[in-house]
Amino acid sequence: MQIGFATDHGGFVLKEPILEVLRKSGHKVQDFGAQHLDPEDDYPDFVIPLARAVAQGKVERGIAICGSGVGASFAANKVIGVRSALIHESYSAHQGVEDDNMNLLCLGGRVVGFALAWEIIQIYLAAHYARAERFERRLAKVAAIECKEQI
């Protein structure tokens, strides 16, 4: 799978270990930064390009990590076509994809350690959207709101 990945200083400690296991698992990873630890960097500078790549289909799924995951989720969801969520447990990692077609996972680098982050990422990447009628109906309502907000 083609994965997009972004982190700011708050998630930087997880960056290299996560990228390493993603690549060893056979995934192709596009790194949107940060390229070095800078305590003054800003999550939107990395998350927005990642979210745009997800929305445009340049990557199949995205993973963003900031300190809490909250800011990354806020930023990602500003990009039309992105369905991002902050996840810190395994159930929502698959349910978000299966029911809501989540395409960008956000994690908090100061909230979860490597083992839990990797477990969540594996569950997220293995999940598939169920395409049930009720899920399609709900996503259509969200898409309609996105269209209205563009005006």
pLDDT at 147: 81
State which residues form the domain around 116: 2-150
Q: Which of 22, 47, 51, 66 is catalytic?
A: 66
Is 66 catalytic? The answer is: yes
Sign of CA dihedral 77, 80, 82, 83: positive
Number of folded domains that form the chain = 1
For the chain, how long is the longest CA-to-CA vector? 45
pLDDT tens sequence across 24-48: 999 999 999 999 999 999 999 999 9
pTM: 0.95
pLDDT at 41: 97
Given a cut of 80, whether residue 149 has pLDDT beyond it is: no
Mean of the pLDDT values across residues 132-141? Answer: 94
Percentage of the residues of the chain whose pLDDT score is greater than 70? 98
pLDDT tens sequence across 49-88: 999 999 999 999 999 999 999 999 999 999 999 999 999 9
Q: What ranges make up the beta strands (E) of 2-109?
A: 2-7, 28-31, 61-66, 84-86, 104-108
Hey, what are 142's tokens? 């969200």
Hey, what are 98's tokens? 């299966």
**CATH assignment of the domain containing 89:** 3.40.1400.10
Q: Which residues contact 100 (CB under 8 A, 6 or more apart)?
A: 83, 85, 135, 138, 139
Closest CA to 10 of 39, 35, 32, 36: 39
CA separation for the pair 145, 126 (Å, rounded): 29
Q: Which residues contact 82 (CB under 8 A, 6 or more apart)?
A: 51, 54, 55, 62, 76, 103, 104
pLDDT at 137: 94
